Amino acid sequence: MTQQIPETIDAGSPPAPDRDAPGRLAGGRLRVWDIVFFVVSAAAPLTVVASAAPTAMRLGGVGAAGALLVCGVILIFFAIGFTAMSRHVRNTGAFYAYAARGLGKPAGIGTALAALFAYIVLSVSFYGFLGFFAQLTVAGLFGLDLPWPIWSLIAAACVAFLGYRKVDVGAKVLAVLLTAEVGILLVLSIAVLANGGPEPWSAAPFSPEAVFLAPGVAALFVMGFGAYMGFEGTAIYAEEAKNPSRTVPLATYIAIGFLAVFYAFTFWMITVAFGVEGVIGLVSSDDFESTVFIAGDQYLGAWAGTVLQVLIVTSFFACLLAFHNASSRYAYSLAREGLLPKRLARTHPTSKAPHVASTTIAVIAVVAILIGWGTGADPILQLGIWSYGAGVAGLVFAQSVAAVSVIGFFARDRRGYGRFRMVVAPVIGAAGLIGGFLLIVLNFEYVTGLDPVANALLILPTPVLFLAGIVWGLVIRRRNPAQYAALAETTAE
């Protein structure tokens, strides 16, 4: 039986219009694989393997492959309860609605602000990365050396255009780009398997000593949790999914499972390509960032290096598009609730995309790019990594709150689910995510390279926004009970 609960801020408003009416997202448009492409693209597997793998090995040793697998298992435990809750809470605000229904509406508002901040600054960071690599790639291949902000602005225009179109158009673009980047890494891995490395294959990267007892264990898990960024995007697209009660859980398991296996396998193949001792020597050198490109040259030929350079750029673009879409839908959801300007809740009459929110997010990115250009900021070390670090911390924090929210949501009524799915698995997932957030905060210098004061300034927006949201929610509850009652309420199935 389906119960319609008002989504507007006015508790006395008429029933919500049909799903194709202006102001609503396009329902029933996304299939399982469409959502998987959005989520896996947000994780940017090629950029993770090309950059995070050598960095993690440099700081934490060969246990990087095992650490990625452990992080995947923790997130699977979280997903067990997360997907059960998705059957009862469908809202494009995702973490906002989950926290509101599990921990209370003030906590939901705080989580929403922290998550929206994280998505936006992550998008900004990827514009810096994309501009830098696009400048290098185009200059090297075609001799056209344009400043990095030009490429970032071109990417912003393309992202804004696709964000204005039907959501499944963006999914099709991501499908092509993601297939290409995953394909080249699989081809490289198969070549390594076929040819063998300089040393016998070793299971050392998966040993407990290398994963949990390494001197740089914190770095392994900082990089590990960062590699899965955006997996919760499955819930963000619940209102646009076909049969969301089935589509969202299935897409979540496929996305996390694929990333866990893919990361562990490709990270391990890097150790096979150079040997356990050889790869440590390589990642300890000044050429550590070229580890994957060197492997491509050795096992596939010079053409692979060229293809990898191009695909690094398209991988960042795919990541940008995924995070832009997520940011737009968070802004849309909060505006629909009256927490942001109502104009942001408008959807396009034809595509049903949240075009006003999408355009606003694109404008914010353009402003950030122009500021970076005007101040002479380094696209990698400053615009890129500083924003990335702040975004990762904020997103893992929001994931941690959501994990606790699942426990709170089912504490009063397990709704027919077993104890393992509603208690044991969510507790394991929440403990793992909270531990991951603490590792990131306590070892933030591994991500940014900054001093403690600067790192604190990058981390502080997350807890400050969370606490501000809680206070805001309490104020709304006292001053506008009707609006408060309607917050985070959506169609429950």
Alpha-carbon dihedral angle through residues 88, 89, 95, 101, given to the nearest 10 degrees: -80
pLDDT score recorded for residue 411: 84
Rounded Cα distance between 378 and 369, Å, is: 11
Helices (H), 9-104: 32-43, 45-47, 53-60, 64-86, 95-103
pLDDT of res. 288: 79
Query: How confident is the model at residue 264, as a pLDDT?
Result: 93
Q: Please check the confidence at residue 244 and state whether its pLDDT lies above 90.
A: no
Mean pLDDT across 26-45: 74
Predicted TM-score (pTM) above 0.85:
no
- Given this model, what pLDDT does residue 105 score? 93
What pLDDT, in 10s, does the model give residues 433-469? Answer: 998 889 888 888 877 878 899 999 999 999 999 999 9
Between 309 and 372, the higher pLDDT residue = 372
Most confident stretch, 124-133, 216-225, 285-294:
124-133
pLDDT tens readout for residues 75-129: 999 888 888 887 777 665 678 888 988 899 999 999 999 999 998 998 999 999 8
Looking at residue 5, its pLDDT comes to 34
361-416 pLDDT, tens digit each: 999 999 999 999 999 999 987 888 889 889 888 988 998 998 899 898 888 788 77
pLDDT of residue 21: 40
Q: Where are the domains of the chain?
A: 32-101+166-355+395-454
DSSP label of 21? S
Q: Using alpha carbons, select from 247, 194, 186 the residue that is nearest to residue 35.
A: 247
Q: Which pLDDT belongs to residue 366? A: 96
Model pLDDT, residue 353: 76
Q: State the Cα–Cα distance between residues 268 and 201, nearest whole angstrom.
A: 9
pLDDT of 20 over the 60 cut? no
Lowest-confidence range among 7-16, 260-269, 303-312, 460-469? 7-16
What pLDDT is stored for residue 41 in this prediction? Answer: 74
pLDDT at 28: 62
Q: Among candidates 181, 99, 197, 196, which has minimal Cα distance to 430?
A: 99
